[in-house]
Amino acid sequence: MKTTKTTPAVPALKKKGLKPDTHITVLLSMMAFVLLLMAVLKPGSYFTISNLRSMIFQFPEYGVLSFGMMICMIAGGIDLSLVGIMNLSGVAAALIITNMGGTNASIVLGCAVALVVGAICGALNGFIIASLSIPAMLVTLCSLQLYTGLALAITGGPAINNMPDAFKNIANGSIGPIPYVLFIFIAVALGMAFIMNCTVFGNEIYFLGSNARAARYSGINTLRVTVMTHMLSGILGGISGILITSHLNSAKSSNGSTYTLLTLLIIVLGGVHPDGGKGKVMGVTLSVLLLQLIANAFTIMRAPDTFKTFVNGCLLVAALILDVVLEKRAAKKAAKS
């Protein structure tokens, strides 16, 4: 009796071990495919140092944002207000820096304030979600309006421009040929990988997303974890706010409006499950890179920006369908053995 019931565990084990790997293999082969395609179509302009550099200048701002979306979704929720948090933080930073005359001290203070604003916004989201048990989708949809509105109210309409050079340098400068933002992105990715894999908090996020009720019965403080998750997501939104403000030399309430969709696409493509509980930093990182390769390929091919939006929508559907198909196949295999 016992042996017949537990034998399915063996193939299931192999599959579980392999599943994230298949996802990463798929991502890597898609990247290889894009590179190959470009090697055939536009070898001259794609594989150049300057093109590589231009790519690196672009992806960190939405890459960092994707990690925020990732942890919220792993925890079983979603954060649709991230772009609002990003812009509000950016506006707060810009306001402080321009009003204090653009000194180095003001830049440090501005960046710190951006992170704090992000943290507060995120914590507010998390608190409303967990304490009143309202679906995260609804809360963050509302708070997106709130944060965007606040950014608009602060600026009064027009963008805050004319940032000091030292601030612009954050997202536009480089050490030798390597842009600063690459280091920021790598640091965030490593930090996230560490949090998700090596800390109690990271594990609690996975537990919460797998089964919130069981998490409570296991002694996990679900309110605290939800608030902290959204707070971390908000802080990442704050970092993106600094990056995008520096990159565009402009802070306003309507920057990066396509990023919500883009980050969702990135994390779903990267193997984060929309129902929560599953997803890896590695997958999301590769997914960010893949999306940048594709976007850049379109730029080189002189396709309009809007075409990217179209393709991203198609890719999102394709990624979801791929997940469904993989899941069905796995279930079938499990049923057979």
Closest listed residue to residue 67, CA positions, set 213, 239, 204 = 239
Partnered with residue 175 across adjacent β-strands are 178
Classify 178 as helix, strand or coil: strand
First to last CA, the chain: 16
Under the criterion CB under 8 A, does residue 30 sit at the interface with other proteins?
A: no
| Shortest Cβ 201–other proteins spacing (Å) | 10
Residue choice 204, 240, 295, 299 for contact with other proteins (CB under 8 A): 204
Mapped onto helix, strand or coil, the DSSP state of residue 179 is strand
The answer to whether 121 and 147 have CB atoms below 8 angstroms apart is yes
Q: How many residues of this chain interact with other proteins, rule: CB under 8 A? A: 88
| Nearer of residues 172 and 258 to other proteins, judged by Cβ | 258
Stretch that binds other proteins, among 3-11, 20-28, 112-120, 182-190 (CB under 8 A): 3-11
Stretch that binds other proteins, among 174-182, 184-192, 243-251, 257-265 (CB under 8 A): 257-265
Site for other proteins contains 79 (CB under 8 A): no
On whether the CB atoms of residues 159 and 250 are closer than 8 A, the answer is yes
CA distances from 155 to 89, 93, 131 (A): 12, 12, 32
Backbone angles phi, psi at 175, to 5 degrees: -95, 115
Q: Is position 205 an interface residue for other proteins (rule: CB under 8 A)?
A: no
Q: Is 62 in the site for other proteins (CB under 8 A)?
A: no
Residue whose entry in the numeric block shows the structure tokens 């509000």: 88
Give the shortest CB-117-to-other proteins separation in angstroms. 14
Task: Decide: is 18 part of the binding site for other proteins (CB under 8 A).
Answer: no
219 binds other proteins (CB under 8 A): yes
Q: How far apart are CA 221 and CA 282, in angstroms?
A: 27
The correct pick among 29, 99, 103, 337 for binding other proteins (CB under 8 A) is 337
- The residue within the footprint of other proteins, chosen from 40, 49, 175, 335 (CB under 8 A), is 335
Question: What 3-state DSSP class applies to 284?
Answer: helix
* 35 part of the interface to other proteins, by CB under 8 A: no
Q: Which of residues 258-317 bind other proteins (CB under 8 A)?
A: 258, 260-261, 264-265, 268, 274-275, 277-278, 303-304, 306-314, 316-317
